[in-house]
Amino acid sequence: MNREFALDLNGKQTKVDTDAERSLLDVLREDLGLTGTKYGCGEGECGACTVLLDGRAVRSCVTSVAEAVGAKIETIEGLADGEKLQSVQQAFIEDSALQCGYCVPGQIMTATALLRRTPRPSREQIVAAMDGNLCRCCNYMNILAAVERAAGAR
């Protein structure tokens, strides 16, 4: 049964009328038109659908819309300040950390969560944090370089 949910989404209060069991990913993409967050496996295994809830990287494909109520939700669309890209986004461009680009929103959201809680991570901490975000283009070295650049390590 549908009901109305109030979401704090990219700094704006947003209302959506939907079933409580629907995934946050489906609601973002299908109801709210935020297609930057990608559908990969649908099982919490690939990281393509990563968004931030109160600064924590979560898999939106296995998070219900009801679970997101009350949290500050951030998607890839909310990172840039107008035309000015956020530091991780800019680093991904500078280090060519995208090939097909499909995994990139999820990679950037995971890296953003890491750098907010650990602004100067070691390479090992970056690898550990990014480990669950898969890239079917196997562009891992460039992704690692980009996160290190955004952290100011390069």
In the bound state with ligand FES, the residue whose beta carbon lies nearer, of 9 and 58, is: 58
3-state SS assignment for residue 5: strand
In the bound state with ligand FES, the residue whose beta carbon lies nearer, of 6 and 100, is: 100
How far is 107 from 134, CA to CA, in rounded Å?
Answer: 8
In the bound state with ligand FES, the residue whose beta carbon lies nearer, of 96 and 122, is: 96
Could you list the residues that contact ligand FES (CB under 6 A)?
39-42, 44-49, 59, 61, 98-104, 135-137, 139
How many Å is the maximal CA-CA distance in the chain? 51
CB of residue 134 to ligand FES, shortest distance in Å: 7
How far is 98 from 117, CA to CA, in rounded Å?
Answer: 24
What's the Rg (C-alpha) of the chain?
15
Distances (CA, A) of 139 to 95, 101, 103: 11, 10, 10
CB of residue 96 to ligand FES, shortest distance in Å: 10
In the bound state with ligand FES, the residue whose beta carbon lies nearer, of 10 and 60, is: 60
CB of residue 4 to ligand FES, shortest distance in Å: 25
